[in-house]
Homo-oligomer: A and B are copies of this chain.
């Protein structure tokens, strides 16, 4: 059984002390919005649900897994999942950020991300059921007709139904242009959907009355490739007079046997002439799917944070309690048979690495989420546009880097336990297994890296990076006289300058040879990510001055910032060397 305590202090520090979210949100809501008291209460309630209801289902859910019944083609989720989903729905969490017109709470996106982090820490497998629903809600909200919204959105927001996103097929993963599922025009404007989708999270389960699948398929006249894909609504039960009608011909053919997130039903979905309805424009399904991509990818980035947070809490606890060996400079607990692990500098290195990544990632994802709110409700076009460009630039970093750092964090957390970390009952190995999916789904790290360098930097001429560098520049200028920040502002300024120059040189090289993009992208993602986190760590150090948190909390922040700059940030230089090495160091392989 592993611990979990909602990290409310750190969320508040990041949101309010570092990012000034209260002022930003007040401005966006034009005075009629949410008070700080309400925001605090939302965080607290989400924390309670995560700690008390979700966290205890995590390890048992992994052990039990989901069960697929071949005869009925139905899936049973692990014990406790259904009841947790009921409490989640009853608490209004399923529609937290959705429009009030559909029964939502209309809270800002940044609160959605902050609460999602806690739910995911509580039980990542479980959290995928509402997460997929949220994705479906966004699709319906943006692309659905009024009737479609009324029919499908409201019950999902209410937590009575759930949703899915059906993209992947056996031969079409990262390359959706290869997909084959067909949609033939049927009666009354409906379509008949035929094909097989794989890796469908929440494709079939027992948490809700109905499941609304959003399915990518090809119309008969569709052009080949990614420009011939349309999106369809395919409900598990079709509706008759507003009530659940017939069982549609879409069934789970199997569930996957996976390394981790074993409480999440990952289904093979067979559409055997299922009834579906076009949503959005014909042949524009992929573009429609992409409008939800930012939210989906940010949420997966948050999964990295969520798993790392819980892994850190447990490894820190273990290091505090486990007595083994003595400090190098003489006993620190002479009355005990041995000192605890915390006296070992190398154990502190493992814990501080986790802390630097966890708290740094938290600032990054909350900052990105705030841009979502500004993009949606900013007072003027220029403000909204800038937020949108910043967000587009930061998404591949928030997804790509944070999920990769979660591999390192969960690995280090397990390492702190020594051999005991390898034992299932101690719980930390589950975090390692669960974490392994997040660099794969919603676009692999390679896809994120290509999106960052190929699209956000090269195609969009680095406009998001320019905003971000300007922000770093302004921050450095604002604090230029602050002696306590000198150790951070110097390296940050130098690296910001280097980042811009390296990007320009790289852009020139990729123009000469497009293969250079693929050769540099992964290292460019890490390079950019480490500088991005350095900026947030410098802001955190600066924010301790005005924060009302406890002195020990603030000292730990400054210590972690110093650790990050001294021992993590030098990683940028190895990535720079790899970027500069060029594609000739990656010759053809047979």
* A residues adjacent to B (C-beta < 8 A): 168, 171-175, 178, 199, 256-260, 316, 319-320, 323-325, 327-329, 337-338, 342, 344-349, 351-352, 407, 411, 414-415, 418-425, 429, 432-433, 436-437, 439-441, 444-446, 449-450, 513-515, 517-519, 521-522, 552, 556, 559, 562-563, 566-567, 570-571, 573-574, 577-578, 581, 583, 585-590
Decide if A324 touches B178 in the complex (CB within 8 Å): yes
Secondary structure at the A interface, as helix, strand, loop or mixed, is: helix
Decide if B446 touches A344 in the complex (CB within 8 Å): yes
Decide if B574 touches A570 in the complex (CB within 8 Å): yes
**What are 23 sample pairs from A and B whose C-beta atoms fall under 8 A apart?**
A171-B337, A173-B418, A173-B419, A174-B325, A174-B418, A175-B338, A178-B337, A256-B423, A257-B423, A259-B424, A259-B429, A320-B590, A344-B446, A346-B449, A346-B450, A346-B518, A348-B589, A418-B440, A419-B437, A422-B437, A567-B577, A573-B573, A573-B574
B346, B352, B411, B567: the one within 8 Å of A521 (CB): B346
Decide if B519 touches A345 in the complex (CB within 8 Å): yes
Decide if A441 touches B419 in the complex (CB within 8 Å): yes
- How far apart are A180's CB and chain B's nearest CB, in angstroms? 10
Decide if A329 touches B585 in the complex (CB within 8 Å): no
Decide if B559 touches A581 in the complex (CB within 8 Å): no
Do A570 and B573 form a contact, CB below 8 Å, given A345-B519, A346-B522? yes
A588, B589: Cα distance in complex, Å = 49
- How far apart are A301's CB and chain B's nearest CB, in angstroms? 17
- How far apart are A456's CB and chain B's nearest CB, in angstroms? 16
Q: Copy number of this protein in the oligomer? A: 2
Do A328 and B517 form a contact, CB below 8 Å, given A415-B445, A441-B419, A445-B415? yes
Chain B residues with CB under 8 Å of A345's CB are 515, 518-519, 583, 586
Decide if A567 touches B589 in the complex (CB within 8 Å): no
For A63, give the chain B residue with the smallest CB separation.
Answer: B257
Decide if B257 touches A175 in the complex (CB within 8 Å): no
Chain B residues with CB under 8 Å of A513's CB are 329
A446, B418: Cα distance in complex, Å = 10
Nearest first, the 5 A-B pairs at minimum CB distance are A345-B518, A570-B577, A259-B429, A566-B581, A345-B519
Decide if B424 touches A440 in the complex (CB within 8 Å): no
Decide if A415 touches B433 in the complex (CB within 8 Å): no
Decide if A352 touches B586 in the complex (CB within 8 Å): yes
- How far apart are A566's CB and chain B's nearest CB, in angstroms? 4
- How far apart are A174's CB and chain B's nearest CB, in angstroms? 6
Decide if B415 touches A444 in the complex (CB within 8 Å): yes
- How far apart are A429's CB and chain B's nearest CB, in angstroms? 4
A26, B419: Cα distance in complex, Å = 41
Chain B residues with CB under 8 Å of A581's CB are 566-567
Chain B residues with CB under 8 Å of A574's CB are 570-571, 573-574
Do A324 and B173 form a contact, CB below 8 Å, given A338-B178, A449-B346, A521-B346? yes
A581, B574: Cα distance in complex, Å = 17
Decide if B260 touches A422 in the complex (CB within 8 Å): yes
A571, B346: Cα distance in complex, Å = 19
A31, B319: Cα distance in complex, Å = 55
Decide if B346 touches A589 in the complex (CB within 8 Å): no
Chain B residues with CB under 8 Å of A256's CB are 422-423
- How far apart are A579's CB and chain B's nearest CB, in angstroms? 9
A573, B168: Cα distance in complex, Å = 41
B168, B173, B556, B566: the one within 8 Å of A585 (CB): B566
- How far apart are A244's CB and chain B's nearest CB, in angstroms? 32
A429, B436: Cα distance in complex, Å = 9
Decide if A515 touches B329 in the complex (CB within 8 Å): yes
- How far apart are A9's CB and chain B's nearest CB, in angstroms? 15
Do A432 and B436 form a contact, CB below 8 Å, given A578-B566, A578-B567? yes
B437, B446, B514, B556: the one within 8 Å of A328 (CB): B514
A175, B326: Cα distance in complex, Å = 9
Decide if A514 touches B567 in the complex (CB within 8 Å): no
- How far apart are A19's CB and chain B's nearest CB, in angstroms? 26
- How far apart are A452's CB and chain B's nearest CB, in angstroms? 12
Known A256-B422, A342-B588; further 16 A-B contacts with Cβ < 8 A: A199-B419, A256-B423, A257-B425, A258-B423, A259-B424, A259-B429, A316-B589, A328-B514, A342-B590, A346-B521, A352-B586, A415-B445, A422-B440, A566-B578, A567-B578, A571-B574
Chain B residues with CB under 8 Å of A324's CB are 172-175, 178
Chain B residues with CB under 8 Å of A260's CB are 422
Do A175 and B325 form a contact, CB below 8 Å, given A570-B574, A574-B570? yes
Decide if A347 touches B578 in the complex (CB within 8 Å): no
Chain B residues with CB under 8 Å of A414's CB are 436
A324, B414: Cα distance in complex, Å = 35
- How far apart are A349's CB and chain B's nearest CB, in angstroms? 6
Do A346 and B567 form a contact, CB below 8 Å, given A168-B419, A421-B440? no
Decide if A570 touches B563 in the complex (CB within 8 Å): no
Chain B residues with CB under 8 Å of A347's CB are 446
- How far apart are A256's CB and chain B's nearest CB, in angstroms? 5
Chain B residues with CB under 8 Å of A562's CB are 585
A505, B424: Cα distance in complex, Å = 43
- How far apart are A450's CB and chain B's nearest CB, in angstroms? 8
